[in-house]
Amino acid sequence: MPSKLRRYDEAGHIHFWTISCYRRLAFLWHDDLKRVVIDGFKLLQRDFNVCMIAYVIMPDHIHFIIYPHAPGSDEPIPISILLHRFKRFVGLEGKKRLRNIWRSRGQLWSVPLNQWATGGFGKQQIFQTRGYDFNIKRFETLLEKIDYCHKNPITRGLVNDAADWRWSSFRFYERADRSVIAMDWDGQWPVVW
């Protein structure tokens, strides 16, 4: 990641985040870890009252689209605060889940993850320090990024149909499936929140 990466907290902008796992390890392959990420999203909804628009959880990264404003506020909540809170929560809770899996099985689900668990990489973090944050200012760009999220599991060969990947917002929008997490966006442009 670029060392001079900047985030722009602009009123009315939507943000598209990409958060990669440390060394692109597949921490999020296991459903328990995906549930921790969902809990992290819910934490942002509950504690900051932001508008969740779309997401996908992949084995080694996350894409997340968020309108970082409290309802009725013209001022955005700084992305640095939201990212810090999310990554800290998922990191701490994720490590707890990984330790439980390690205790019950004596290993994780891949040789590189076992190496990570036994200290082979030095750092024992779940996410890369930096992520990618892209400001969305146009409706067409928003639709493109949502489509990108929903097609990511197909592109990576995990499923043949986006509806078969439980860990994205596709099923919420296409089937009104709220079983994993509900999105907040009602489809209006500009976003009214």
- Over the stretch 130-164, which tens digit does the pLDDT of each residue have? 888 999 999 999 999 999 999 999 999 999 999 99
SS3 (DSSP) at 54: strand
* Domain range list for the chain: 14-175
Structure pTM?
0.94
pLDDT of residue 5: 57
Residue type, 51: C
Tell me: domain 14-175, CATH 3.40.1260.10, correct? no
Compute the distance between CA of residue 28 and CA of residue 152 in angstroms, rounded to an integer: 15
Does the pLDDT at position 7 exceed 80?
no
Compute the distance between CA of residue 83 and CA of residue 100 in angstroms, rounded to an integer: 25
- Over the stretch 15-68, which tens digit does the pLDDT of each residue have? 999 999 999 999 999 999 999 999 999 999 999 999 999 999 999 999 999 999
| Sign of torsion over alpha carbons 64, 70, 72, 75 | negative
Does the pLDDT at position 3 exceed 80?
no
Compute the distance between CA of residue 172 and CA of residue 149 in angstroms, rounded to an integer: 13
